[in-house]
């Protein structure tokens, strides 16, 4: 199987921009309701610290969801007693997370403070395009 990345897009071309610098809550939970969104484009930027959860985000095998970074994006999972300090659930399908959208950064996405079993779950539901860095 060969994965060909869609072209990198600008903020104006994105279907959705998640700007973590504007998120005030410590519990970022986004449910995409299992609606199939072929070719949906998400740009993430800024830094987030807290519980992070995305559910029901679905692309198609021919036209996956494409998530890119704008600058360095750091997500530090909250470790309070929580069932999901960092969670991408099995309802997410056909997602490409591309950390090379901004070539000035070696790691476009840095994910901190997650447990090994959460990394396995994440890797099952997202197709990761290097570089993405997990940090203990």
Range of the domain at 90: 16-135
For residue 5, being part of any structural domain is answered with: no
Q: Does 27 fall in a domain? A: yes
Residue 130: which pLDDT band, with cuts at 50, 70 and 90? very low
In a domain, 30, yes or no: yes
Of the pLDDT bands very low, low, confident and very high (cuts 50, 70, 90), residue 122 is low
Q: What is the pTM of this model?
A: 0.81
- 128 or 50: which carries more pLDDT confidence? 50
Q: Is residue 10 part of a domain?
A: no
Dump pLDDT digits (tens) for 61-92.
Answer: 888 899 999 999 988 887 765 656 667 766 78
Q: Could you say which DSSP state residue 128 is in? A: E
Tell me how far apart the alpha carbons of residues 136 and 121 are, in angstroms, rounded to a whole number.
16
- Residue 71 domain-assigned? yes
């Amino acid at each position: 199987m060969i994965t060909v990345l869609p072209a990198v897009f600008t903020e104006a071309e994105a279907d959705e921009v998640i700007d973590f610098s504007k998120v005030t809550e410590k519990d970022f939970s986004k449910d995409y309701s299992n609606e199939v969104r072929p070719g949906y484009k998400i740009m993430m930027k800024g830094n987030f610290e807290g519980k992070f959860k995305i559910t029901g985000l679905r692309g198609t095998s021919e036209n996956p969801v494409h998530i890119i970074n704008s600058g360095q994006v750091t997500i530090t999972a909250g470790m309070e007693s929580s069932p999901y300090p960092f969670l991408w659930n099995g309802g997410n399908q056909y997602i490409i997370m591309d950390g090379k959208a901004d070539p000035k950064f070696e790691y476009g996405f840095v994910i901190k403070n997650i447990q090994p079993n959460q990394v396995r779950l994440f890797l099952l539901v997202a197709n990761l395009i290097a570089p993405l860095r997990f940090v203990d």
